[in-house]
Amino acid sequence: MTQYPSLQGKQLVKILKKIKFNVIRIKGSHHFLRHSDGRCTIIPVHSGETIGPGLLTKILHDCEITRDDLLKIM
């Protein structure tokens, strides 16, 4: 099984901003991010909680980036 890094929502938002994703709106604790080419995703930002591997896989799929790409960006 592939290991994913342990990330909090706030950290993942910062990483995605490095590759030109922008926060378009925030509703409660959910940040909606969109790239200029149309890719978009939603990231829950709950203090003290990490994003689980299943949700992280879904977010990476939405953003069309691989686990290896994520590790390079970090």
Which residues on adjacent β-strands are paired with residue 27? 30
pLDDT tens for each residue of the chain, 74 residues long: 467 788 999 999 999 999 999 999 999 999 999 999 999 999 999 998 999 999 999 999 999 999 989 989 88
pLDDT of residue 51: 94
| Assigned domain for 1 exists | no
DSSP code at position 29: T
Q: Domain of 20: which CATH number? A: 3.30.920.30
Which domain does 34 fall in, by range?
A: 9-73
pLDDT of residue 39: 94
Question: Can you tell me the distance from the alpha carbon of 71 to that of 74, in angstroms, rounded to the nearest whole number?
Answer: 5
Report the domain count for the chain.
1
pLDDT of residue 33: 97
pLDDT of residue 2: 62
Asked if 37 and 21 touch (Cβ cutoff 8 Å), the reply is no
| Assigned domain for 2 exists | no
